[in-house]
Structure 1
């Protein structure tokens, strides 16, 4: 692969990671699922959750997001390693906070450990695993302005 091809792959993978955060924040569950290979897996080991396959990822994302009154996630670039022409691995760093519908609050910092696959539709997640590194359950004093579902 050419040096320019490697740069393009990294750019496309970073865009994929950005799409995931945007889709989660916008509660666009169809788009979340579309970012995975058909047999891709999304894992949250600390929550005891593993979801495999696009239909299950779509339903699981909606179920998980439905637990939140509001949720804010910021994902920061990490590493990307290209392995040949069609596979890659990487990490992205996450800061998030929100309030659950049960009234509990969470500030989390974590790492997404990713495996990617080039497909006919571009780079997709084969596997995305969230490793929780820090959690703070101190009640959040703020609100989500303008939200009617809070």
Structure 2
């Protein structure tokens, strides 16, 4: 009887651990269905630890999908994991706030949101520089690096 209870408890616990990150196809589907795909140069980062967030302001450098125009001001919020942020399993892809700085180029997939953009399933990535073609696509989870660096 004890063995059966232990096995049942183990089976119940497994799905929670397995759901810590969503399967890659979920993130790819979020990219494919996103209303906006663009590269943005960061002009300002406001770190708000009590909200576990980094508020990003920038300018659109390249737009491949959506109503945003090149040169438009954009803003969005990224989930940031500060030292005080509790580690919780779940589908959130956390950003290190120390990695976000003015001048950086980010490429991402977004939904329009009141007052700005909202990342589609946290699909925002740092890229080395602006590019004429997207570096992040909908068919492969990785973003390519045109500089040839490893």
After TM superposition, the score normalised by the length of structure 1 is: 0.31
After TM superposition, the score normalised by the length of structure 2 is: 0.31
Q: Which has the larger radius of gyration?
A: 2
- Higher strand content, 1 or 2: 1
Higher RCO (C-alpha 8 Å, min separation 6)? 2
